[in-house]
Structure formats: structure tokens, C-alpha cells
Amino acid sequence: MTRRFPPLLPALTLLAMLGPVAAGLWGTLLPAFGHLPAAGISGPSLDPFRDLFAWAGLPRAVLLSISTGLFATAISLLIVVLVTAGWSGTRSFRVLERLLSPLLSVPHAAAAFGLAFLIAPSGWVSRLFSPGLTGWERPPDLLIVQDSWGLAMTAGLIVKEVPFLLLITLAALGQADAKRSVTVAQALGYGRLTGWLKTVFPRVYGQIRPPVYVVLAYAMSVVDVAVILGPNTPPPLSVQIVRWMSDPDLAMRLEGAAGALLQLALVVGALAFWRLGEVIIARLGRRWIAAGGRGRADPVVARIGLALGGASALVVLLGLGVLAIWSFAGFWGFPDALPDQFTWRNWMRFGPGTLDALGETAIIASVAASTALILTIGCLEAEYRYDLHLSRRGVWLLYLPLLIPQTAFLPGLQTMMLGLGADVGRGPVIMAHLVFVLPYVFLSLADPFRAWDARIGTIAAALGAGPDGVLWRVRLPMLLRPILTALAVGLAVSVGQYLPTLLIGGGRVSTLTTEAVALASGGDRRAIGVYGLMQTGAALVPFTLALLIPAMVWRNRRGLRHG
Amino acid sequence: MDDGLFLRDVEISKGGVPLISVHHDIKPGEVLTVMGPSGVGKSTLLAFITGTLAAGFTATGEVWLDGHNVTHAPPHKRHVGILFQDDLLFPHLSVGANLAFGLQPGSTASDRQKRIAEALDEVGLGGFADRDPATLSGGQKARVALMRMLLSEPCALLLDEPFSGLDAALRTQIRSMVFDRARARSLPVLMVTHDAEDAEAAAGAVLELGGSWS
């Protein structure tokens, strides 16, 4: 066999994913212990940690990081489990699934702005009920968005993580033989929801555990959502780390690096705590199963689950709607439900700026996503040709860059690049995006790629096609739809990246996301509406194309219509 | 004469457990039928001959085809045609393009088109070249798959339970179509099946899995 695809590509992939993470952690470790030659400071010393612990906001910032992370993860998982347990296979479920899947690609920042515009004192919800129900003639002086408990921020994370966890769960259901298990349980007198929880959930959870951990790590260390919806004084730890890192005084980076290490420790601790929770719930669950209850409350619980799931989808959709209204709004006084007039003026004003940012976003996203796609196909094809198999432990390597909090290694990567004198800018930003884009592209393409019937390859080879011929002439064309979907996933992930662009770009690379988040403090709702919509569009359009292109190319090929 | 498909001391095992052991010469135009219940690893023997044995299996012995030792040749250089139970037509290609995939390269475009049209005519599918394979009936697909394989001019033919997906009437028809063409081209045929009728129709040696002869 010719070795046109040497295991070089898998090695490159690992390097692209883990190299920056390792370098970044190293670059965090040194300054955290007082070693930063670029600023003329050499260690080791514990001063950065002393400064960190002397910061009065620290306990609150730490608490916020933990509480938003744990609550957002637990609640979104609960919603997804209840909805799937109570409704999978029904029509309502398909409707909800169809509503939620496009929401997966809505950038976090856009969803967060949408939520803010809904629930703020002067937001849409308050307008709809004012002054009729509330009697408010002016927006009330309430701290709803950016509340000091981080509730708005937790809600913003939940509505974005529900679609993610639901799709992950659906993918896992395929391998769990769920339908027959529930049928058997129902024949034994169990309600649908209880039957599902007792027979299917243990298997499904085993499959979705890594992505659940990713959600936890992400929710604990997210920056853009926290800037938009989270409290300010003090902010969650992740936001404070970014503030320290952006301080013109280089010495503040030491404190930032110490904070980044603390963030890493918090995430590791929370993951351990979550693991412990799994053990306890598993033990309680076994007792619950042994007790044999058939689930008399099932219908009620299932309805609550569906209502929560529907509400979470509705919040994102209405949020996008209100972003759209603001982007076209002329004068819009409180408490009017709609603006006095609709106008193109906002788009004329902010359009040119968004186009520049769109260009930058498109370049970064296309290079990052197509690189990730090539590496992924190389890995999967190498796996097929050399009969390699990714072990369960190997799969965790894919999740590693998503489990290590961004705020723990990106600051270090930035510091390290400054130390090396490497120029910040577009190239390094693309490399940093690749770290996050690669795992998602890989996870998106791996299942369809591996599910391809290998006998087709045997046939093609028997007809005289070499390994490359089989790949290019048969396998890739047949997999056109999942390949384009994986590419769209990669583009959406890149479009939504905030922290890597901000830190590694050194503030000189402006994408739609960095521009939109930068508007958060200004509070110009018309500008936010325009940028938020453009950002959502940049993530959604590739998905639409990924559906349309295969449908057009294969319009006369029924065998590929559902493939 | 060296022509034919010769299996020399072929032994395949998985994890140290022997599965199959075959030593047999299949002369041109002859059929060897390998029988046994499903799931015993009959298809493994075919995978060894096509060069696509999965990891975890170990095989010893040699495969000779028309005087060449092909045991270590890459799958696409072996000139061994195979038909599976499913037609496995390439779903992204038209019927004609599926056949063109099998046709050896060279010759002019019009000549290739002519040969594809002739092949379709031969199995009663004239004018089907532009069709989407997914719109064909089971019997039509089986015929296209057969012609695709024959156009690649293989030196031997492997059949992996190729008729079990077809209903009774169709099965007889397709079966004789396959065997007639293999005989006409003097191809050695190795068939794996669990259907006694298939074995009877093949009218050749039968190897029951486990090595006993009938």
C-alpha cells in the first residue's frame, strides 16, 4: 500500500490542537510565579498570588465562576434529559428539535444580547406589559441584566447549551437502542419518562459525559457572555483575568497569570465535584430503579420539561427578533412595544463597519475551518487505511482543548508570543481558532465518516481504484453533506470566538464578535442590533449552504438525499 | 497450467483461534462453494483474497491468481472482482457512470460509451445509462452491479451471498446470469453462501466450513 497519507496528519492534528494549549499553560505558569523577562521581572516568587488573594473582589468572582458554571450545566442538562425522556419519538419532539438545531450555530454573544434586550428593565418583555400590567411609564430601576448573582448570565448560558446538549444526546441515542428499551419498560408498566430514565439514560450519559464536561468548563470560564450579561463589580473571575491581561501595565499580567492558574484549578475542582455528583446520583438512581416505581407523575414532569425546552428555544428566537427590530428602529420610546418607524439608517451607519469586520471574520473562519477539515479528513482516512482505532482515552484528547478553560491558557499564549517577539495579528489568531475549531469539526465528521460502508471501498478497489481514487472519487462525494456540515460547524465555531481573537490578536484583529462585544459597555442598541445580526448571519449562512449545496448537487440522486 | 485462483494453505485465525483453513485450486470456469451458517467468518476468507482483511485477523498461506502470487498485492492491483449481497452501486453516480467506474481506462470516450451501452443491453437495461441507481428495482441493481464488475475485466470472481437479498424467482434468474457469464469468460469463482440451492446451481466443489468435504 502506498503511504500517501502517512500518520503525519494525525500527528499534525494533535500538534495543532494541543501545542498552543501546552505552550499557553507554560506561558501562564512562569509569570504566575513572578517570571516575566519581557517586563524586566524575574522570579520565582509568590507575589502574584499574594496580589491576587489581596484583591477584595476575589471571593465573589470565584463564587460567580463556580455558581454560573454548575447551575448552567446542571439546568441545561436537566432540561435536555427531561425533554428527551418524555418526548423523544413524538411530534412535539421533532418540532423542538427542528427549532433548536439552527440555534446551535447562533453565536453566544448574539444570543446573550438578545436575552439582554428581552429581559432588561427597558427590554421587550417589560415593554409588552407596560404600562398595562406594571404601571411603569419609565423603565424601572432594577438590576436585571448584569445582576450581582449572575442569574442573567446563567440563563444566557442555559439557552445556548440546551441546543448543544440536545443534539449531542440525539447522536448518542442512535447507539443506545433506546426505542426498544422504552418499549420493553412500557410493557412492564413504566411511564415513558421513568422508563427512559431507568433504562436508557445510564447508557446515554456514558456517551455524552465528555461534552457535558465541556459545557461545565466553558460555562465557568466564558468571557463574552459574562461581559454582556454578567455582573461588573466584581465581574466573574474570567472577565477580571482579561482585564488584568489588557492592562497597559505589564506587571498586571503577573496577577492575571496567577488568576488564570486559579481558574484552571477551579475548573479541575468543579469537574471533580461533578464526577462525585455522578457517583452519588448513580447510587441513588440504582436504588430508585430497584424500588420499581412506575412513574405516576410522568405526564406532569414531561410537560414541565417540554415547557422549559420550548421556553429556552423561544428566548433565543425572540432575542434575535428583538435584535432585528433594534437594527431597523427609528425612535423607540418606552413603553411602546414597537418603534415609531422602521428605517435603514442604522444599517447605513454601521453597515460599512460591519463589512470590514465581516471580511476579517470570513478570512479567519475560512482558513481555520478548512484547515481543520483537511486535518480531520486526513486523520479519519489514516484511521481507515491503517486500521487504527481511537481508544476511549484517545477521545478525551479531542476534548482536552475544550476542557481546559480558555482563560487559563490564552493569556499565557499571548504573553509567550510577546516574549518571543512574535507579531500578534491574523496568522496567530487563526492558529488559536484552530485549537477550538478542530475538535468540533472532528467530532462532527467522525461518525458519518466511520459509518460509511467499507464494502463500497472494497468494491471500488476491486474495480481497480487505488486508495486515493476511492477517497476522492467515491468516499468524499458520497459524504458531501456531512463534510459541508462539518465545515459549517467549523465556520460557526470560529465566527463565535471572542477571547482568542481579542488576546492573540492583541486588539488589532477586529471580527464581528469582538466588535459586537465591545459595544456591550456603550449600550447603543441599534449598533448592537446590526452587529449581532451580522454575527448570527455569518454563522447561519454556511449551515444553510451546507443543506442547499448537497440538495442541489445530488438532486437526481435519491440514495444520498438522507445520507 | 497456472490459470485460475489457487488458495495455498490458507489459514485465518482471530486472536489465536483458528477460523478457516482452505487449500484448494479453482480452475478457470469452475466454482468453489464455501458453505456454513452465517457469522462463522466465511466473508473473512473473501476479505483475505481481496486484500481487505480487518485488523485482529491473522492469515497465513498464499493466494495465486493466473500464475501470480497476489497475497501481498494492494487490493486495487489484484484483479479480483467481488459481488456482495447488497448491490452497493455508488449512489452519487448514474448507472452509466457506475459502469464507467468499472471499465478499464483508455480508449476514446465514444468507445467507452458504446461498451457501457452494450453492457446494459446485454442484461436488458438498454437506455438506463442516465438513471439514478436508487430508482432501480432490486433485480435491476443486481444486474448493473454484475456488469460493472465484469467491465473491470477481473481474473477471478468472488461472490459474498450475492443472491440472498433477492426473492425466489429473481434469484434463479440472476444466479444463472452470473454463472453463465463467469463460465463464458472462463473465470474461477469462489462463492460464499448458506443457501443449499446456490451450491447446487454452482455445480462445483463444496467446502463446508470446518474443512469437511461433501
Q: How far is A478 from chain B (nearest CA, A)?
A: 6
Q: Is the pLDDT of residue B166 over 70?
A: yes
> CB under 8 Å, gap of 24 or more: what pairs does A425-429 form?
A425/A505, A425/A506, A425/A508, A425/A509, A426/A360, A426/A363, A426/A364, A426/A505, A426/A509, A428/A504, A428/A505, A429/A364, A429/A500, A429/A501, A429/A504, A429/A505, A429/A509
Can you spell out the DSSP letters for A525-554? Answer: HHHHHHHHHHHHHHHHHHHHHHHHHHHHHT
Q: Average pLDDT of A222-232? A: 94
pLDDT tens for B100-122 read 999 988 889 999 999 999 999 99
Contact A458 B75 (CB under 8 A): yes
Task: Give the pLDDT band of residue A562 (cuts 50, 70, 90).
Answer: low
Architecture of the domain defined by A1-33+344-563: Orthogonal Bundle (1.10)
A462 with B47: Cβ contact below 8 A: no
- A554 to chain B, minimum CA–CA distance in Å? 7
Number of CB pairs, chain A paired with chain B, less than 8 A apart: 88
Specify the pLDDT at position A420: 75
- Cross-chain Cβ contact A557/B101 below 8 Å: no
Please report which confidence band the pLDDT of residue B39 belongs to, taking 50, 70 and 90 as the band edges: low
Measured CA distances, B117 to A77, A218, B90, B113 (Å)? 58, 59, 18, 6
pLDDT number for residue B49: 95
Give residue A179's pLDDT: 86
Q: How far off is chain A from B202, nearest CA to CA, in Å?
A: 22
pLDDT tens by residue, A380-403? 999 888 888 777 778 888 899 999
Q: Is B122 within 8 Å of B147 (Cβ atoms)? A: yes
Q: Which domains does chain B have, with CATH numbers?
A: 1-79+155-214 (3.40.50.300), 89-153 (no CATH)
- Nearest-neighbour CA in chain A from B170: distance (Å): 23
Contact A463 B78 (CB under 8 A): no
ipTM value of the model? 0.89
Name chain A contacts of B101, Cβ cutoff 8 Å. Answer: 460, 463, 465, 473
> Which of A454, A458, A478 shows the shortest C-beta gap to B92?
A478
The span from the CA of A97 to the CA of A166, in Å, is 8
The per-residue b/e assignment along A369-396, b for 16 or more CB within 10 angstroms, e otherwise, is bebbbebbbbbbbbbbbeeeebeeeeee
Tell if the CB–CB gap between B47 and A556 is shorter than 8 Å: no
> How far is A484 from chain B, CA to nearest CA, in Å?
16
Contacts of A455 in chain B (CB under 8 A): 84, 86, 88
pLDDT at position A250 over 90: no
- Rounded to the nearest 5 percent, the helix, strand and coil shares of chain A are 75, 0, 25
Q: What percent of chain B has pLDDT over 70?
A: 96
Q: pLDDT band at A136, cuts 50/70/90?
A: confident
Q: Which pLDDT does position A109 carry in this prediction?
A: 96
For residue B88, give the nearest of A459, A464, A558 by CB distance.
A459
DSSP state of B2: -
DSSP state of B213: B
pLDDT digits (tens, 9 = 90+) for A48-97: 999 999 999 999 999 999 999 999 999 999 999 999 999 988 898 988 88
Q: Tell me what pLDDT residue A559 has.
A: 86
pLDDT value for B212: 40
For residue B88, the chain A residues in CB contact (below 8 A) are 453, 455-456, 459
Q: What is the mean pLDDT of residues A513-534?
A: 93
The whole-number pLDDT of residue A364 equals 97
pLDDT at position A349 over 60: yes
pLDDT of residue A65: 95
Contact map slice: A 473-492 vs B, CB within 8 A: 473-474, 477-478, 480
Parts of chain A belonging to CATH 1.10.3720.10: 1-33+344-563, 57-343
Q: How far apart are CA A53 and CA A258, in angstroms?
A: 10
Asked if A393 reaches chain B (Cβ–Cβ under 8 Å), the answer is no
Whether the pLDDT of residue B27 is over 60: the answer is yes
DSSP string, A97-119: HHHHHHHTTS-HHHHHHHHHHHH
Identify the weakest region by mean pLDDT among A104-118, A429-443, A448-462, B26-40. Answer: B26-40
| pLDDT beyond 60 at A2 | no
Mean pLDDT of A494-503: 94
CB contact under 8 A, B76 and A558: no
Average pLDDT, rounded, for chain A:
91
- Judging contacts by C-beta atoms under 8 Å, the chain B residues touching residue A387 are 54-55
Strands B189-193 and B156-160 come out as parallel
CATH class, A57-343 region? mainly alpha
More confident residue, A319 or A134: A319
Question: Residues with Cβ < 8 Å from A34, sequence gap 6 or more?
Answer: A41, A42, A43, A44, A45, A46, A47, A48, A254
Q: Which of A70, A61, A372, A395 is nearest to A215 (CA)?
A: A70
Does A176 have pLDDT greater than 80?
no
Q: Answer whether A229's CB lies under 8 Å from A221's CB.
A: no
User: Given an 8 Å threshold on Cβ–Cβ distance, is A473 in contact with B91?
Assistant: no
User: How would residue B151 be classed by pLDDT, with cut points 50, 70 and 90?
Assistant: very high
User: Does pLDDT of A5 surpass 70?
Assistant: no
Grid cell in block for residue A34: 513572578
Name the pLDDT band for A6 (thresholds 50, 70, 90): low
Predicted local confidence at residue B73, as pLDDT: 92
Chain B stretch 85-104, residues whose beta carbon is closer than 8 A to a beta carbon of chain A: 86, 88-92, 94, 101-102, 104
Mean pLDDT to the nearest integer, B167-195:
92
Task: Give pLDDT, residue B211.
Answer: 44
Please report the pLDDT score of residue B214 as a whole number.
35
* Minimal CA separation from A482 to chain B, in Å: 14
For residue B24, the model assigns a pLDDT of 93
Looking at residue B76, what DSSP letter applies?
G
